[in-house]
């Protein structure tokens, strides 16, 4: 049976064209308007300055899962659990040896992503179509930012991190998942990236994974374009200063966002400073991106782009 390719496997231009066609469909327009009107009655008064929803452009291994958890906690126990893209290895329990079991079914997930409602708030994960429709209080997605077109009055944010530190974290995470046979984690293909040394891992990754922060905001890996798009967001946090940045975000939005440490592991894999130094030339564009964004926001880039892996 033929299976339609997912939006992740299509070029960004093709995905954008497809969404434009769907938005031109009168039925889709009416359905989207109905969803937005229902959510606004519950959520509109929660955010200040006329904002109606929050969208997190989530780059992996930047503390993004912790930020998602801080928002979902506002929905109570029903919304606090991980969903969709975030439902990857949120437990440190060790599974029995043998083949990795298939993830449990998610009743509200599918091609359109995942949706959970709690305390009168709707939380969406992944769902590009629903993100574009805007019928939610908080949404997060790994999908490239330029592919998404949320409605006006959406508070958009992201978290950036020292690129070398991010890759070290990603490598150690994959090694940990494989060593402990943790279920419901990354695909076997992704785990295979970390079969060898850290340097091999970095060279094996696709460019859009290695420079994910750059690719998230520029399909052509153009630093200036990405800097401009990031500067146009409503908030930018940094992993290296995350606790203070989260507190500032909570104050700005008037929300009780609490620091939550998700996916905290005791990694057994070490990466030496020499290994990190060897891959820095491959990260030059993304290092420049993070430094430029920090300076443009009036932040000291020193603590952020320090070349020592954390």
Give me the residues paired with residue 118 across strands.
121
pTM, 2 dp = 0.79
pLDDT, the chain, mean? 82
pLDDT tens digits for range 40-79: 555 556 899 999 999 999 999 999 999 999 999 999 988 8
Mean pLDDT of 183-193: 87
Cα separation of 84 and 111, whole Å?
A: 11
* Architecture in CATH for domain 12-92+108-296: 3-Layer(aba) Sandwich (3.40)
Check residue 209 and give its pLDDT: 96
CB 233 within 8 A of CB 159: no
Range among 29-33, 132-136, 219-223 rated most confident: 219-223
Check residue 79 and give its pLDDT: 87
Cα separation of 56 and 252, whole Å?
A: 16
- 178 — pLDDT class (breaks 50, 70, 90): confident
Check residue 251 and give its pLDDT: 98
**CA 44 and chain centroid, separation:** 24
Range among 12-16, 27-31, 126-130 rated most confident: 126-130
DSSP SS3 for 254: coil
Check residue 228 and give its pLDDT: 98
Check residue 98 and give its pLDDT: 42
The percentage of residues in the chain with a pLDDT greater than 90, rounded to a whole number, is 62
Give me the residues paired with residue 184 across strands.
none
How is residue 240 annotated by DSSP?
G
- 92 — pLDDT class (breaks 50, 70, 90): very low
- 13 — pLDDT class (breaks 50, 70, 90): low
Neighbours of 300 (CB within 10 A): 10
- Map tokens 């564009």 to a residue: 285
- The strands making up 154-160's β-sheet, listed across from edge to edge, are 114-118, 121-125, 138-141, 53-57, 154-160, 235-238
Cα separation of 203 and 179, whole Å?
A: 21
pLDDT tens digits for range 160-175: 999 999 999 999 999 9
pLDDT tens digits for range 240-284: 999 999 999 999 999 999 998 765 556 678 999 999 999 999 999
């Amino acid at each position: 049976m033929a299976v339609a390719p997912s939006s992740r496997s299509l070029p960004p231009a093709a995905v954008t064209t497809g969404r434009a066609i769907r938005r031109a469909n009168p039925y889709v327009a009416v359905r989207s308007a109905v969803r937005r009107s229902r959510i606004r009655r519950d959520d509109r008064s929660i955010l200040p300055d006329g904002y109606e929803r929050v969208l997190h452009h989530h780059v992996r291994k930047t503390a993004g899962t912790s930020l998602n958890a801080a928002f979902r906690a506002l929905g109570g126990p029903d919304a606090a659990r991980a969903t969709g893209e975030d439902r990857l290895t949120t437990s440190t329990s060790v599974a029995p040896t043998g083949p990795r079991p298939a993830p449990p079914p998610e009743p509200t997930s599918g091609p359109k992503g995942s949706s959970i409602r709690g305390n009168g708030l709707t939380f969406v994960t992944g769902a590009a179509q629903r993100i574009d429709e805007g019928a939610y209080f908080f949404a997060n997605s790994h999908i490239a930012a330029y592919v998404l077109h949320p409605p006006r009055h959406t508070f958009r944010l992201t978290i950036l991190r020292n690129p070398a530190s991010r890759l070290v974290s990603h490598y150690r995470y994959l090694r940990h998942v494989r060593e402990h046979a943790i279920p419901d984690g990354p695909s076997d293909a992704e785990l295979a990236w970390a079969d060898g040394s850290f340097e091999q891992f970095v060279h094996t990754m696709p460019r859009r994974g290695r420079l994910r922060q750059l690719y998230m905001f520029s399909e052509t890996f153009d630093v200036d374009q990405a800097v401009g798009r990031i500067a146009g967001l409503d908030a930018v946090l940094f992993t290296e200063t995350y606790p203070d940045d989260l507190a500032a975000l909570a104050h700005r939005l008037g929300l009780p966002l609490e620091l939550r440490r998700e996916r905290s592991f005791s990694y057994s894999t070490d990466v030496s400073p020499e290994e990190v130094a060897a891959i820095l030339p491959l990260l030059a564009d993304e290092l420049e991106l993070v430094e430029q964004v920090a300076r443009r926001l009036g932040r000291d880039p020193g603590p952020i782009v320090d070349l020592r892996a954390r």
